[in-house]
Structure formats: C-alpha cells, structure tokens
Amino acid sequence: MGLPRRGRKHLIAMVGLPARGKTFTARKLRGYLSWLGYPTRTFNVGERRRDRLGPGQSAAFFDPDDREATAQREALTDDTLDQAFAWLRGEGRIAIFDATNGTRARRRRIQERCSRADVDLLFVELLENDSDVIDENVRDAKLSSPDYRGVPEAEAWSDFRARIAHYERVYAPLSEEDGSFIRLASRGRTITSHEVRGWISARIASFLTNLQVTKRPVWITRHGESLYNCQGRIGGDAPLSDRGRVFARSLADHVNAHAHELVDLDVWTSTLRRTIDTAIPMGLVPGQWRALDEIDSGVCDGMTYAEIARRMPEEFEARQNDKLRYRYPKGESYEDVIQRLDRVIVELERYRTPVLVVGHRAVLRALYAYFLQLPTAEIPHLEMPLHTVIQLAPTAYGCLEERVALPPLPSPAADGSGPPAPA
Ligand code: F6P
C-alpha cells in the first residue's frame, strides 16, 4: 500500500451563501486530503478581494444590480481560479475553490474551465436555514474578519446581513445539470450526492458525511513504558514495565480529575497489550482498533536501532534518508500507517463526545499531525514522548494543543535510541 503519485487533477468548488461554513469545511478538507498525501490548496476569493482592494467593502459591493462592483467581483473570481489552475498545472493535485459560486452562470464558467483543462470538478454545497447556526457562524468567523475591523458590532451585523440578502436574491441551489456534487444540508444532517465517482471523490464524500462542527476534545497519549521501551527495542507486544504501570494509574487519576470535561469519554486502544494494559485502571472498556497498532517494523521487529544499523546498514540508511516513505522489509512505512489511520480520523470526526486514544509513537505522530494540520513530511520526526497526555481542542480556525507530562519519568533508555534525524 503506497500513495498514488500521479493521477487526475481535481477542482472542488464550494457552493453556499455567506456564513454557511464553507471556509471551515474547505480548511478541514484541505487538511484531510493533504494528510492523506494529495497536494491540496485552498483558493479563497474573499482573501483575494482583501489583497487586491483592501478589506472593508460594505454590503453595497455585493449588490448584484451594481454592474461595476459585479464586474470587479467576477474579475477577482477569475483571478482566483487562474491561481487554482496554475497550481493544478504544477505540483498540485487538488484545488479547493472557496467562494459562494451561487449562480448557474458562475458554475457554468467553472465547468467550462475544468473541461478545457481536463480537470475533474466536484461541487460541495452547504445549505443551512437555521438562523441560530448562521448567527453562530457570523459570530465565530465574520465579525472578527478584517472587513469589520474597527466597525461597531451592531453595524457589522447589519452590514453582513445585507450582504447575505444580496447573495440570496440570485442564489440557485445545485441541480443535476451541475454534474458531480455533494450537498450537505442542515449541518450535514441531510446529504445528497450526485454522480460522485472515483477514489478521491469517495474519500471526500465519506469525510464530509462524518464531519461535525464540534468543540469537544480529543486526547492522545502513548501507552505506559513497556519492557521493550526499556531495552530500546522496536515493535513487539511487550508488557508494561513497573514505571509503565505507575503511569497507567497516573493517567486514570488525571482522567478522573478532568471528568467534568470528559463526560461520555470513549477510550480507544490498539490491539497490543501495552495500550490495553495502560487503559485498564481507567475502568472503562476500551474500543480496540487494529488500525491503531504501531507501525509494523517487519523483519526489524524486536531489534534495537543499533542492531538494525549494524546488521542491515542499507536499510538503516534508507530509513534515515526518507523516513516518511521508507517501508520496513515485510512491514510498513509511515505513508502506509497514514492510509490505515484514515478510518480512525473519519470516525474521530464523527464523534461528538470526547475520545482518549492510547496509542503508539508513530501512529500518534500521524494523528497529531492531522489535527494540527502539519506538513506530512514532518510526521516521522514529531516529538511524541512517553508519559505525556496531549489534549487537542478544535476551534473555528484550528486546534489548540496542551501537553501534560504525568509521573513517573520514563527510563532514560526508552526512546533515547531512536535513529538520529536525517542531516
Ligand atoms: O520505540 C517505540 C516505537 O513505538 C516502536 O515500536 C516503533 O517502531 C517506533 O517507536 C516508531 O518511531 P520511529 O519511527 O521514530 O522509529
């Protein structure tokens, strides 16, 4: 299992009135697709407008009857699309075009450009009629935008409502003539998909179907120190060391102390005993996932890094040169691990209640990078110490991280013997 390096190029065009969550969704999608290994970027017309014209256009600028402003907005759209297609002609695999795209005429233009460039087009529409949800989006994302810097709040609200009303007058929801599309209505409670085919579109559909707007935290921690950690050995299915068992109790105390934040907590482990034994003192029955098992180190399983360097110097060097793509003989690469974690991510996005993942170093590096939207190339080198709980709390624009080291300190040998970072 590896990543497809080449393949068809895709444009995903968001569709929806202002304050329906398009930018949030585009950002999550970009993070997910990049994490899966597809070079993906978002192209946002609002940002382009602010770059070109400076922030602060009032609602009048969005009046469809104002010909001059409409021509300016269309020019900005074309500019932004030019950038997206330039990215797709080069290294880009997926471009996400983040704009309202609410008229048929605009969508026809996008369709024509995609067919000329031989790019697959998928529309993603967000429909929302619940005024509470819209108000929440305005509050979270719009009032703080540079467009309203220095504007009193009441004025900003009424201007933004007027902007929405202008768009509403000309808005046409997607229909079959728009070709491939996914529509998420009422915060994704009703989902329609039309002519969605192919692997990438299927991943997008599955991700968006499960994506929840939620502020609940995800906690991740490695298992307590194992006997293999003490010996600097990789892989295997060793039991916890004495220190590892003490950590398991510290973890249970820590979780109890935060019980108010962790109502309805679910605990997930791998199928390896060091994670299951770490979860036991919490007194909750953990969900065991094979997909959370540590990277399979194949023929090197049970060896120390020093043994690998001595007995298989070519393998050791190859891993140092490209730790992300290096696959252990008869084992896995980090890229392989990411692919199998896909279902864990989709499930984590679906959950509305807190989840604590008790996992392993490589696997948690990959999960952590997903939530923090870090470049895939950094994954194999991220700090993921033993006996440390990392709390990841989603916000409207990203994810807040907090690390808490719990006693005891792991033995000095544990993790100290990892391969040095490549020069
Ligand atoms: O040493 C603990 C461990 O979880 C091993 O089982 C695994 O092979 C390794 O860490 C992953 O870290 P790295 O990719 O840095 O070798």
Q: What is the pTM of this model?
A: 0.93
| pLDDT reading at 40 higher than 60 | yes
**Per-residue confidence band for 177, with pLDDT thresholds at 50, 70 and 90:** very high
Distance (angstroms) between ligand 1 centre and the Cα of 229 equals 9
| pLDDT reading at 397 higher than 90 | no
The pLDDT, as a whole number, for residue 315 is 98
Task: Select from 309, 308, 310, 306 the least CA-distant residue to 298.
Answer: 308
User: Residue 125: beta bridge partners?
Assistant: 15, 183
Q: What is the pLDDT of residues 234-278, one digit of tens each?
A: 999 999 999 999 999 999 999 999 999 889 999 999 999 999 999
Q: What is the mean pLDDT of residues 118-134?
A: 95
Distance (angstroms) between ligand 1 centre and the Cα of 401 equals 23
Helix H, strand E, coil C: the string for the chain is CCCCCCCCCEEEEEECCCCCCHHHHHHHHHHHHHHCCCCEEEEEHHHHHHHHHCCCCCHHHHCCCCHHHHHHHHHHHHHHHHHHHHHHHCCCCEEEEECCCCCHHHHHHHHHHHHHHCCEEEEEEEECCCHHHHHHHHHHHHCCCHHHCCCCHHHHHHHHHHHHHHHHHHCCCCCHHHCCEEEEECCCCEEEEECCCCHHHHHHHHHHHHCCCCCCCEEEEECCCEHHHHHCECCCCCCECHHHHHHHHHHHHHHHHCCCCCCCCEEEECCCHHHHHHHHHHCCCCEECHHHCCCCCHHHCCCEHHHHHHHCHHHHHHHHHCCCCCCCCCCCCHHHHHHHHHHHHHHHHHCCCCEEEEECHHHHHHHHHHHHCCCHHHHHHCCCCCCEEEEEEECCCCEEEEEEECCCCCCCCCCCCCCCCCC
Q: Which amino acid is at 38?
A: Y
Domains of the chain (ranges; CATH) run 10-210 (3.40.50.300), 218-405 (3.40.50.1240)
The pLDDT, as a whole number, for residue 188 is 83
| pLDDT reading at 372 higher than 70 | yes
Of 141-155, 175-189, 216-230, the one with minimum mean pLDDT is: 141-155
Residue nearest to atom 2 of ligand 1 (CA): 234
Q: What is the pLDDT of residues 347-360, one digit of tens each?
A: 999 998 999 999 99
In the chain, what percentage of residues exceed pLDDT 90? 86
| pLDDT reading at 214 higher than 80 | no
Residue nearest to atom 8 of ligand 1 (CA): 234
| pLDDT reading at 105 higher than 90 | yes
Residue nearest to atom 16 of ligand 1 (CA): 418
312 Rama class: left (phi>0) / alpha (psi -120 to 50) / beta: beta
The pLDDT, as a whole number, for residue 416 is 58
Residues in the chain: 423
Q: What is the mean pLDDT of residues 87-92?
A: 97
Residues belonging to the active site: 222-223, 229, 274, 294, 360
Contact 357, 370 (CB under 8 A): no
Q: What is the mean pLDDT of residues 403-420?
A: 80
Ligand 1 mutation pick, 222, 234, 292, 319, max ligand atoms within 8 A of CB: 234
- Would you state the structure tokens that stand for residue 28, as one six-digit string? 């999550």
The pLDDT, as a whole number, for residue 1 is 44
Residue nearest to atom 10 of ligand 1 (CA): 361
Phi, psi of 240 (to 5 degrees): -70, 150
Distance (angstroms) between ligand 1 centre and the Cα of 197 equals 37
Distance (angstroms) between ligand 1 centre and the Cα of 226 equals 12
Distance (angstroms) between ligand 1 centre and the Cα of 305 equals 9
**Per-residue confidence band for 3, with pLDDT thresholds at 50, 70 and 90:** low
Pocket lining: 361 vs ligand 1, CB cutoff 6 Å: yes
Q: What is the mean pLDDT of residues 367-396?
A: 95
Q: What is the mean pLDDT of residues 305-312?
A: 97
| pLDDT reading at 311 higher than 90 | yes
More confident residue, 93 or 5: 93
Specify the ligand 1 atom closest to the Cα of 222. Answer: 4
| pLDDT reading at 328 higher than 60 | yes
Q: Give the contacts of 216 (CB within 8 A, at least 6 positions apart).
A: 351, 352, 353, 354, 394
The pLDDT, as a whole number, for residue 423 is 37
Q: What is the mean pLDDT of residues 287-309?
A: 97
Q: What is the pLDDT of residues 45-76, one digit of tens each?
A: 999 999 999 988 899 999 999 999 999 999 99
Distance (angstroms) between ligand 1 centre and the Cα of 235 equals 7
| pLDDT reading at 421 higher than 50 | no
Ligand 1 mutation pick, 233, 237, 292, 294, max ligand atoms within 8 A of CB: 294
Average model confidence (pLDDT) for the chain?
A: 93
Pocket lining: 234 vs ligand 1, CB cutoff 6 Å: yes
Residue nearest to atom 1 of ligand 1 (CA): 234
Residue nearest to atom 5 of ligand 1 (CA): 234
Parallel/antiparallel/unpaired status of strands 399-405 and 287-288: unpaired
